[in-house]
Structure 1
Amino acid sequence: MLEASGKYVLPITFHSFNEKILEQLKILNCAIFPIKYPDKVYRDCLIFSDLTQGAFCNDVLVGAIAVRLERQPGGKVQLYIITLGVLAAYRNYGVGTRLLERTLRKAVEDPNIEEAVLHVQTNNEEAIRFYGKFGFEVSQTIPGYYKKNRLDPPDAHILTKALQNSS
């Protein structure tokens, strides 16, 4: 589909997750990420299915954001982004941006969710830049975070974004 600006826009639809889509998410993540996530991670996504979203092009899952909510000391709740990925052939069409924006918009509607957080490998400059465009900042670096996954480098940044005004 061509926009008035002349830029091509993919015909993407978005859906919350259910059991059927969850199996597709597992396959998608295996194709994109070097980490094999345990089934419990995916089951947790079903609990927060309104925040976990899939992007479909012609009924094919081409991207997804998987999240969970985590209660922090003091009662604060954070949105933890487990994965956000788009198949290589569908990148640079705004699919990841739209997935992240939709999830953040929904999260802001809940006054209990005060921040969004994720881990990213320290050498993944593309992801760090991507999240930076949305106001995420490196809040901490964890040496050896990905050691058990045998990633090189094994270090991770924690990226954080405040979602609510602390008034």
Structure 2
Amino acid sequence: MVNPKISHRPTLCYRPVQPSDLGILEQIHSDVFPIRYESEFFQNVVNGRDIVSWAAVDRSQPNGRTDELIGFVTARIVMTKDSEIADLLRYDSSKGDQTLVYILTLGVVDAYRNLGIATSLIHEVIKYASSIPVCRAVYLHVISYNNPAIHLYKKMSFKCIRRLHGFYLINGQHFDSSLFVYYVNGGRSPCSPLVLVTFFITCVKTGLKSVAAKLRKNEEKMVKWPKCKETRGLVPLQNKQTIKTELSGCEYV
């Protein structure tokens, strides 16, 4: 596919961000994001200090720019127990080494958008997270008005699990954020469909057992109606009892 904004058919490749990308990385962040990042952040990215990253380049770009950054994604590994979404995961606190991958920034040069570059970069992150046995999810924040990004993450099966009011402060104005999660290596929400179905079946089984027990108890209390020799009628020895079955409801959050 050729983007109308570029005059050639791109040959897209992906590699780690490296120190020589520093200048263009800073420039793209400045062009793409309304938030300004400290120089320390960029140094950490290009030198791989606690941050993993992938760069997109166009090998068929003219004028010797075949290794110039046209897109990127940066991410960081965080401990699940220390993350802001620990309560939104089916997290086993006894396994303190469980981790998550948090996407910090994702950007593509304007001329190269709508070519699937962002999707490929996110797939690199997901593949990386999946390769870590103790990693349970990839997650990120999206500002409320970034509809293309929201559409992209939903299309890639990310789940929006929380909306944070006033999360961003930009030029004195607050903006909401959506929190998206993609589960890997068996990670899932405490209220995932599998968990809810299992919980529902347990409730039904418990309820049926309770009803059966009460029916058996009632049968034991029941007394037969003996026939009266003189009248050949039925004489009740005790009043009938009404069985009440109480069903407890399940409340989901």
- State the TM bucket, normalised to the shorter chain: 0.7 to 0.9
| TM-score (structure 2 length as normaliser) | 0.57
Q: Which region of structure 1 is more displaced relative to structure 2, 19-28 or 113-122?
A: 19-28
Equivalent position of 1:157 in the other structure: 178
| TM-score (structure 1 length as normaliser) | 0.84
Alpha-carbon deviations, 1:80-113, whole Å to 9, x = none? 1111111111011111111111221122111122
Shift of 1:21: 2.0
Q: For the structure 1 residues 112 and 155, does the alpha-carbon distance in structure 2 shift closer, same or farther, using more than 3 Å as the test?
A: same
* Counterpart residue identity of residue 103, structure 2: I
Q: For the structure 1 residues 156 and 11, does the alpha-carbon distance in structure 2 shift closer, same or farther, using more than 3 Å as the test?
A: same
Q: For the structure 1 residues 109 and 9, does the alpha-carbon distance in structure 2 shift closer, same or farther, using more than 3 Å as the test?
A: farther
Q: How many residues align?
A: 160
Shift of 1:129: 0.8
- Separation (CA, whole Å) in 2 of partners of 1:161 and 1:110: 14
- Separation (CA, whole Å) in 1 of partners of 2:187 and 2:111: 40
Partners of 2:78 and 2:101 within 8 A in 1: yes
* Counterpart residue identity of residue 10, structure 2: L
State the percentage of identical aligned residues. 25
Equivalent residue runs for 1:90-101 within 5 Å: 90-101=112-123
Q: Establish whether residue 14 from structure 1 lines up as the match of residue 36 from structure 2.
A: no
Q: Establish whether residue 64 from structure 1 lines up as the match of residue 63 from structure 2.
A: no
Aligned residue for 1:123, secondary structure, equals: coil
Partners of 1:62 and 1:90 within 8 A in 2: yes
Q: Which has the higher contact order (CA 8 A, sep 6+)?
A: 1
Equivalent residue runs for 1:123-162 within 5 Å: 123-147=145-169, 149-150=170-171, 154-162=175-183
Q: For the structure 1 residues 166 and 89, does the alpha-carbon distance in structure 2 shift closer, same or farther, using more than 3 Å as the test?
A: closer
Alpha-carbon deviations, 1:43-62, whole Å to 9, x = none? 4431356x410101122211
Q: Of 97, 100, 115, which residue of structure 1 is paired with 2:137?
A: 115
Q: For structure 1, which runs of at least 5 residues remain unmatched after alignment?
A: 3-7
Per residue, is there more strand in 1 or in 2? 1
Equivalent residue runs for 1:34-113 within 5 Å: 34-45=34-45, 46-47=48-49, 51-57=52-58, 58-73=66-81, 74=93, 75=96, 76-113=98-135
Shift of 1:19: 2.2
Aligned residue for 2:124, secondary structure, equals: helix
Aligned residue for 2:185, secondary structure, equals: coil
Q: For structure 2, which runs of at least 5 residues remain unmatched after alignment?
A: 3-7, 59-65, 82-92, 189-253
- Separation (CA, whole Å) in 2 of partners of 1:31 and 1:134: 25
Shift of 1:138: 1.0
- Separation (CA, whole Å) in 2 of partners of 1:113 and 1:42: 25
Equivalent position of 1:5 in the other structure: none
Q: For the structure 1 residues 26 and 103, does the alpha-carbon distance in structure 2 shift closer, same or farther, using more than 3 Å as the test?
A: same
Q: For the structure 1 residues 132 and 9, does the alpha-carbon distance in structure 2 shift closer, same or farther, using more than 3 Å as the test?
A: farther
* Counterpart residue identity of residue 110, structure 2: A
Alpha-carbon deviations, 1:26-55, whole Å to 9, x = none? 221111111111233334431356x41010
Q: Cα RMSD (Å) of the superposition?
A: 2.3
